[in-house]
């Protein structure tokens, strides 16, 4: 097999060959970049984090942090990667003066003890350091890299620093011995990149174009199709092929369950799957857009999605995960389906024979099963407009962030004249598939928006689905959470005006 070619830390590497099931992490470590490490092999700890060059809509580049333990190395053929070793100003840098500003602040503020997780933290922090819209609240000028004022009187909230640093950038990085305070101090001490910063200047240039790739070995085959037509041709010949975008699910299947599919098709850079269009009647989101890309480009214009994104895994995962992947796996505990159900979304299914639109409420047919035929792919998701004026997403999990939900509830409601004119409720984690809470919707629609009606409907919602006892929660607990979330929604929205105009 041909060697993979990846620009790592500014130099083209065409050394060790990569098989179809070799992760980016294993390939990098084989090439001698051992800063990134395997911790959990599931994308939960961030010890493997690296930075990759991703295209911006305006033709420039954004540095994005990802878990290297999940995506296949071949998905980065022709792409650019920066590891923790490449952040210093000089090869083999060890003196404080030679360190990258992120490394320097971590060193000076005691942000590392054993050091196992530190390279991953540094990469996640560096990606946030280079975020183009991160603007310090105060500093000494454009080249300021010293401490910014970090007193509580300057911070907008507990998760954003006065230098514009978003702590969610590190929500997928775990430290088991240092403690997070000195790491937070280091993050909040970062100023703007210097004008001579190589990685900052690189942002003004285009990201590498997708490079068609095909590698065949005895262990399997990896293909990055050059077009949607080629993808359909390959699916027609091998309908059981595994489609990979961010590989946030497929990578776990490979690492933990040791699955080795005969054919892997990389679809993350197909332009037909990466559109985002806002029209008069709907918003269309390409199935291969990452959640971070959707979040950035929508900029809060869909409040229910804005509620979802911070609670969906971690920034490292959202930088690779896609709506197409989240729906394609058919998991009953995926966080996106309840929200999309509440938004009355539809999915566009495409194949060589054409395209069809299916209501998401009719898409799931059983545990990890759907109406999608062999050879069909999810091309896009459509959200109808106008949006319901009142909405909320509630995720019940053992951790606030970076955790699997025990129960997920999304509600979108329109009130008219003090009554519920329309309501959609999506549920996750309470049945074999994500479901609409139709009985609860019927118990609310057309009735006054009062505490008594909310309590009656909440009792109905407690019986929705077929919740089970498992390691995440008991059936009784899930039923109680369903009831409480609707009561919470009422408490948060009982002051609604008598008439609301949908947007």
Query: Which pLDDT does position 4 carry in this prediction?
Result: 78
What is the reported pTM? 0.93
Is 80 exceeded by the pLDDT of residue 93? Answer: no
Mean pLDDT of 334-360: 97
For residue 185, give both structure tokens.
Answer: 């101090």
- Give percent of the chain with pLDDT exceeding 70: 91
Higher pLDDT, 267 or 157: 267
Query: Which pLDDT does position 137 carry in this prediction?
Result: 59
Mean pLDDT of 444-449: 98
Mean pLDDT of 332-361: 97
Mean pLDDT of 350-366: 97
Give how far Cα 197 sits from Cα of 101, 130, 315, Å: 10, 10, 24
Q: CA triplet 78, 84, 87: central angle to 5 degrees?
A: 85
Mean pLDDT of 6-14: 92
Domain range enclosing 461: 390-493
Give how far Cα 501 sits from Cα of 103, 105, 262, 497, Å: 51, 50, 52, 10
Ramachandran assignment for 173, one of left (phi > 0), alpha (psi -120 to 50 degrees), beta (any other): beta
- Which of the four pLDDT bands, split at 50, 70 and 90, describes residue 17? confident
Answer yes or no: do 237 and 263 share one domain. Answer: yes
- Which of the four pLDDT bands, split at 50, 70 and 90, describes residue 308? very high
Answer yes or no: do 362 and 232 share one domain. Answer: yes
For residue 398, give both structure tokens.
Answer: 């053992």
Mean pLDDT of 262-272: 97
Alpha-carbon span 23 to 251, nearest angstrom = 8
Average of per-residue pLDDT values in the chain: 91
Answer yes or no: do 378 and 437 share one domain. Answer: no
Answer yes or no: do 406 and 298 share one domain. Answer: no
Least confident interval from 16-30, 86-100, 339-353, 442-456: 86-100
Is 50 exceeded by the pLDDT of residue 45? Answer: yes
Q: What is the pLDDT of residues 135-166, one digit of tens each?
A: 765 444 334 444 444 343 334 567 889 999 99
Is 70 exceeded by the pLDDT of residue 43? Answer: yes
Closest CA to 315 of 42, 38, 43, 17: 43
Mean pLDDT of 205-226: 94
For residue 216, give both structure tokens.
Answer: 């065949």
Q: Are the CB atoms for 309 and 288 separated by under 8 Å?
A: no
Query: Which pLDDT does position 29 carry in this prediction?
Result: 95
Least confident interval from 126-140, 193-207, 286-300: 126-140
Which residue, of 338, 359, 387, is where some domain finishes?
387
Query: Which pLDDT does position 472 carry in this prediction?
Result: 86
Query: Which pLDDT does position 500 carry in this prediction?
Result: 56
DSSP state of 387: P
Q: Are the CB atoms for 1 and 216 separated by under 8 Å?
A: yes
Closest CA to 252 of 72, 47, 116: 72
| 165 within a domain of the structure (yes/no) | no
Answer yes or no: do 373 and 421 share one domain. Answer: no
| 326 within a domain of the structure (yes/no) | yes
- Can you spell out the DSSP letters for 105-150? HHHHTT--SS-SSHHHHHHHHHHHHT-TT---SS-SSTT--SPPP-
Mean pLDDT of 172-185: 94
Answer yes or no: do 341 and 443 share one domain. Answer: no
Mean pLDDT of 426-431: 97
Q: How many domains does the chain have?
A: 2
3-class SS of residue 442: helix
Is 60 exceeded by the pLDDT of residue 351? Answer: yes
Answer yes or no: do 302 and 422 share one domain. Answer: no
Query: Which pLDDT does position 159 carry in this prediction?
Result: 84
Which residue, of 387, 420, 443, is where some domain finishes?
387
Which residue, of 387, 416, 431, is where some domain finishes?
387
Q: Are the CB atoms for 65 and 316 separated by under 8 Å?
A: yes
Alpha-carbon span 400 to 394, nearest angstrom = 11
């Amino acid at each position: 097999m041909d060697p993979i070619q990846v620009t790592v830390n500014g130099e083209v590497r065409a050394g060790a060959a990569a098989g179809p099931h070799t992760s980016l992490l294993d390939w990098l470590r084989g090439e001698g970049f051992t800063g990134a490490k395997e911790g959990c092999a599931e994308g939960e700890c961030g010890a493997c984090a690296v930075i990759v060059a991703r295209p911006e809509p305006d033709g420039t580049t954004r540095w994005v942090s990802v878990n290297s333990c999940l995506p296949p190395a071949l998905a980065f053929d022709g792409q650019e990667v920066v590891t923790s070793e490449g952040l210093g100003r000089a090869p083999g840098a060890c003196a404080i003066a030679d360190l990258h500003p992120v490394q320097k602040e971590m060193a000076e503020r005691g942000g590392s003890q054993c050091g196992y997780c530190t390279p991953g933290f540094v990469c996640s922090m560096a990606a946030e350091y280079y975020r183009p819209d991160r603007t310090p609240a105060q500093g000494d000028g454009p080249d300021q890299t010293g401490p910014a004022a970090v007193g509580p009187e300057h911070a907008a909230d507990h998760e954003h620093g006065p230098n514009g640093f978003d702590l969610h950038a590190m929500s997928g990085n775990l430290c088991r011995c240092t403690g997070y305070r000195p790491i937070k101090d280091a993050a909040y001490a970062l100023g703007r990149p210097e004008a001579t910063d190589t990685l900052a200047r690189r942002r003004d240039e285009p990201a590498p174009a997708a490079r068609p790739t095909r590698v065949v070995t005895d262990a399997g085959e990896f293909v990055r199709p050059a077009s949607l037509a080629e993808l359909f041709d390959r699916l027609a010949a091998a309908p059981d092929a595994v489609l990979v975008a961010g590989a946030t699910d497929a990578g776990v299947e490979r690492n933990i369950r040791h699955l080795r599919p005969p054919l892997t098709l990389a679809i993350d850079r197909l332009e037909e799957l990466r559109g985002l269009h806002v029209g008069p009647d709907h918003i269309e989101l390409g199935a291969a857009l990452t959640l971070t890309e959707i979040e950035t480009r929508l900029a809060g214009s869909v409040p229910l999605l804005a509620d979802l994104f911070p609670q969906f895994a971690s920034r490292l995962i959202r930088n690779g995960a896609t709506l197409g992947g989240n729906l394609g796996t058919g998991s009953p505990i995926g966080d996106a389906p309840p929200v999309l159900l509440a938004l009355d979304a539809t999915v566009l299914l495409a194949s060589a024979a054409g395209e069809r639109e299916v209501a998401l409420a009719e898409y799931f047919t059983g545990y990890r099963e759907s109406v999608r035929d062999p050879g069909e792919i999810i091309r896009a998701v459509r959200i109808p407009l106008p949006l319901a004026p009142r909405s909320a997403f509630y995720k019940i999990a053992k951790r606030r962030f970076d955790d699997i939900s025990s129960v997920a509830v999304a509600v979108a409601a329109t009130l008219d004249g003090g009554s519920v004119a329309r309501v959609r409720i999506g549920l996750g984690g309470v049945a074999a598939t994500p479901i609409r809470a139709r009985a609860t919707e019927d118990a609310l629609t057309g009735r006054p928006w009062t505490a008594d009606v909310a309590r009656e409907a909440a009792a109905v919602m407690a019986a929705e689905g077929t919740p089970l006892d498992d390691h995440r929660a008991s059936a009784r607990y899930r039923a109680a959470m369903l009831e409480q979330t609707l009561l919470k929604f009422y408490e948060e929205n009982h002051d609604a005006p008598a008439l609301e105009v949908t947007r």
